[in-house]
Structure 1
Amino acid sequence: MTDTTDMPETPRVLSPRDEARVRFAMDAERVARQTLDLLPIDPDAPPGERLRRTLALKELMDQLVEHAVIAEREEGTTWAQLATAAGISKQAAHERWAGAVTAWASGGRTLFPPDSEYSTLKTARRLDQVHADRHPDHPKDAVSSGLDAVRFPGAVAAEAARRERAQGLHHRLALLRDRLTVLHDEQRLLTEGDARPEARAAVLTRLADAEQEVADLYDELTGAEPELADDHRARAERSRANTVSCREYAELLTANATTEAAR
Structure 2
Amino acid sequence: MTDTPDGPRVLSPRDEARVLFAYEVEHLRRKALALLPVDPAAPRGERLRRTLALKQMVDELVEHAVVAEREEGTTWSQVAAAAGISKQAAHERWTGGVNAWAASGRSLFSRDSHHSTLDAAQQLDRVYADHDPEHPQHAVSSGLDAVRFPGTAAAEAARRERATGLHARLAVLSKQITPAYDEWSRLNDVGARPEARAEVLTRLAVLHEESAALYEELTGAEPELADEHRDSAEQARRNSGSRREHAELLADAARTGAASAGAAQGDGDRT
In 1, the alpha carbon distance for the partners of 2:114 and 2:160 equals 20
Structure 1 unaligned regions, length at least 5 = 1-7
Q: Offset at 1:214?
A: 0.3
Aligned positions of 1:1-263 closer than 5 A: 9-263=6-260
Q: Offset at 1:137?
A: 2.4
In 1, the alpha carbon distance for the partners of 2:57 and 2:69 equals 18
In 1, the alpha carbon distance for the partners of 2:214 and 2:31 equals 41
Decide which structure has the larger Cα Rg and report it: 2
1:237 partner amino acid = E
1:254 partner amino acid = A
Q: Offset at 1:136?
A: 2.3
Provide TM-score, normalisation by structure 1: 0.94
Deviation track 1:203-250 (CA, whole Å, cap 9, x = no partner) reads 111011000000000001001110100100011011111111111111
Look up the SS of the partner of 1:30 in the other structure. helix
Look up the SS of the partner of 1:118 in the other structure. coil
Q: Offset at 1:115?
A: 2.3
Q: Offset at 1:100?
A: 1.0
Runs of 4 or more, structure 1, over 2 Å off, are 134-139
Deviation track 1:111-152 (CA, whole Å, cap 9, x = no partner) reads 011222321101110111111122322321111010010111
1:244 partner amino acid = G
Look up the SS of the partner of 1:51 in the other structure. helix
Quote the residue 1:4 is aligned against. none
Structure 2 unaligned regions, length at least 5 = 261-271
In 2, the alpha carbon distance for the partners of 1:65 and 1:197 equals 48
In 2, the alpha carbon distance for the partners of 1:198 and 1:245 equals 17
Deviation track 1:11-48 (CA, whole Å, cap 9, x = no partner) reads 01000100010000011111112112111111221211
Q: CA RMSD in A?
A: 1.2
2:211 partner amino acid = V
Provide TM-score, normalisation by structure 2: 0.91
In 2, the alpha carbon distance for the partners of 1:49 and 1:202 equals 57
In 1, the alpha carbon distance for the partners of 2:33 and 2:102 equals 32
Percentage of matched positions with identical amino acids: 66
Residue correspondences, number: 256
2:245 partner amino acid = E
In 2, the alpha carbon distance for the partners of 1:52 and 1:243 equals 46
Look up the SS of the partner of 1:109 in the other structure. coil
